[in-house]
Structure 1
Amino acid sequence: MSSEVSLRPVVPGDLDLFEREFTTKDGTGPYQWFGFTPTHRLRDRFAEDRLLGRESGMLTITAAGETVGRVEWFASAWGRPDTSACWTIAIALIPAARGRGTGTTAQRQIAGYLFAHTRAERVQAFTDHANLAEQRALEKAGFTREGTLRSAQWRSGSWHDQVLYSLLRSDTSLWDEEHH
C-alpha cells in the first residue's frame, strides 16, 4: 500500500472523517488520546485558511485513493524563532491503515514537501517511548533518533517520556541516491 500513498490539501469531507475517527481512544490509539476535545476549532481553522497557514498546516493522507489520515506540521524553535526555527510533524492514521507502511511513506512525503516549499533545515517528530511502531516508521522514513525527553507529555493521568527524531535537509540527499 505504501507506494499508493499521497498527500493533498484537506477538503470539507475529510473533516467529517477526522471527527469520526480521531475523537475517541479507539480512533487515536493509546499514544494520542488526550481526552475529549472540541471539534469546532478544526472546522473554524479550515474556514479561515484551509489548514494551510504560515505557522502550521495539515494535509490529508490518501492510500489507494481512500482518505486514511492526516499529517500536520507546526513551527518549533530551539532558540530564537527567527534564527532557530524548524518544523515539528505529527501523523494520525485511521486504525485500518496502520501497520502497512502508510505512515512511513506519508512522513517521508511531508518532510520532502516542507524542505521543497520552506527554508527549514530541520524537520522533527516525537513519539511515546513505548510506541515502537511509530519509532520504526520514523526510522524507515529516514529520521534519526536523537534522544529521550523525560516526562514531556501528560496523558491518561501520568507523565510519559517521548523520543525525539529529526531529519535534516542534507539527509534527504540520500533519498536521491537510493533511487539511482
Structure 2
Amino acid sequence: MEKYSDSDITLRPLEISDADAAVKWYMDEKVSEFCSWEAFPSPESAADYFVRHDLTHPWNRAICASGRVVGSIAVKPFRGSDRCRAELGYGVASEYWGRGIATRAVRLAANAAFVEWGHLERLEAVVDVENAASQRVMEKAGFVREGVLRKYYLLKGKPRDAVIFSLLSTDATVNYFIDA
C-alpha cells in the first residue's frame, strides 16, 4: 500500500474530466454504505449524478493524492441567521482508505473554509454512529466530538444515530496560513 506525505495530498476545484474517477467511488458499495445514495448501478448514472450534483455544488473540491483524483470533499454553508456555521462532508475511493488521505483533505478543506469565509465561526461534520473510520478521521483532523444525535437522519429509509463533530475558527488546530 502506497503511503502519501501531507504534501502529496491536495485539493482543487472539480472538473468535468474528474467524472471517470468519481464513477469509481459512486459505484463502490463500501463508499456508499454510510452515504445518502446507494451505489450507482451504471457508470452513466454515476457520471450523471457527478455532473448534476458535484459540479454544481458551490464548494466541492477534488481530493488528489500525488495528482490523482481519489475523492471529493464539500463544505456547505448554512444560510440566514445560521450563516456563522457550515457542514463538511467527503468521500474517498475505498482503494485509498487507511492512508491518511481523508484526514489531510479534511484539514485542508477546514482551513480553506475559515480563510475564504471570514464570517465562519463553526464547521460541523455529522458521522453515522457506526462509521468508526470517519469518526477517527474527524478526530485526527482536530474536530471535537460533541455527542450523539439520536435518530438524526434517514439512511436509506431508516432512522440513524449520528455523532456530531465541530471545529471552531478559534481552535488551535485551525491554520490560516496553510495552502489548500
Give the TM-score band, short-chain normalised: 0.7 to 0.9
Query: Within the alignment, does 1:139 sit opposite 2:139 as a pair?
Result: yes
- In the alignment, structure 1 segments of 5+ residues that lack a partner are none
Change (3 A) 1:168 1:52: same
Task: Select which of 5, 11, 24 maps to 1:20.
Answer: 24
Give me the TM-score of the superposition, normalised by structure 2. Answer: 0.81
What is the Cα-based RMSD across aligned positions, in Å? 2.3
Aligned pairs (5 A) from 1:47-126: 50-51=55-56, 53=58, 57-76=59-78, 81-85=79-83, 86-118=85-117, 119-126=119-126
Unaligned runs of 5+ in 2: 176-180
User: What corresponds to 2:33 in structure 1?
Assistant: 30
Percent of residue pairs bearing the same amino acid type: 27
Paired residues, what number? Answer: 165
TM-score of the superposed pair, with normalisation by structure 1: 0.81
Which of 10, 26, 31 is 1:6 aligned to? 10
Larger proportion of helix: 1
1:163 and 1:140 map into 2 onto residues whose CA distance is: 15
The 3-state SS of whatever aligns with 2:87 is: strand
8 Å contact kept, 1:2–1:63: no
Partner residue of 1:129? Answer: 129
